[in-house]
Structure 1
């Protein structure tokens, strides 16, 4: 008699376990989806906050760099004023030529030809040779 009840008993237990599993799945899946969406939202918020902090730090670094550049420009102006003062309050043509030549060194690999004029001032802008279009050499 016991042998006939055992399969029914185990079948009933398995049925209840399957019912419980399906019930848990029906409750657990939506709850998990809500939790997963919440965690995803928190991650996106943290990423946006970090990006905002990065932008603020970059802006602060740019501001500091501009302040330092302004200080450097002030020091250059003080140096130029001191140089003018040394030259008795007026800038000589030789000093202007020196500044111009020194500036040309900073231009890089451009070719500059210095041609002194009768006033000993450099020609700052010289006209370029006009481009001649290719002529057709075929004799037809």
Structure 2
């Protein structure tokens, strides 16, 4: 077996001491570096999340504006169509009569009350109180 000399032993001890001091000095520095990198990553993630939220909000705003514009266009079209119908039927009164006739056509009722000149319906109380033939007194 080979024996080390005193200088060789001193060299090994010195190398070990330098390695140990490098490790003791490097660990805190590495921890600071590691935390700094983690902080940068968290900041980048927060900025990315914020940008995504802003883009989503802009998309919702644009969508709402487009839906509102579409509703305005639809309403303008309906108003124009109503005006054309009203003018072709002789004004608002003719248009209202037309709508009333359409409503009557769409009902499956056997008895319909139509308003008279005064706006009151004609009542058929006499027809309802008469008894049908073959029924008692």
Q: TM-score, normalised by structure 1?
A: 0.63
- Given candidates 66, 69, 93, the residue that maps to 2:68 is 66
Return the structure number with greater relative CO, CA threshold 8 A, min gap 6: 1
The 2-side partners of 1:97 and 1:113 are apart by 13
The 2-side partners of 1:98 and 1:75 are apart by 21
Where do 5+ consecutive residues of structure 2 fail to align? 120-137
The 2-side partners of 1:101 and 1:59 are apart by 44
1:119 paired residue number:
115
Task: Kindly name which structure, 1 or 2, has the bigger radius of gyration based on alpha carbons.
Answer: 2
Moved over 3 A (4+): 5-12, 99-102, 112-115
Q: TM-score, normalised by structure 2?
A: 0.64
1:95 paired residue number:
99
- What is the number of equivalent residue pairs in this alignment? 112
1:37 Cα deviation after fit: 0.9
| SS of residue paired to 2:113 | coil
Question: What's the CA shift string for 1:90-139, capped at 9, x where partnerless?
Answer: 3242423526987xxxxxxxxx9856214399xxxxxxxxxxxxxxxxxx
The 2-side partners of 1:7 and 1:83 are apart by 112
RMSD: 3.2
Matches within 5 A, 1:1-140: 3-5=3-5, 9-89=11-91, 90-98=94-102, 116-119=112-115
Aligned CA distance change for structure 1 residues 61 and 92 (closer, same or farther; 3 Å): closer
| SS of residue paired to 1:91 | helix
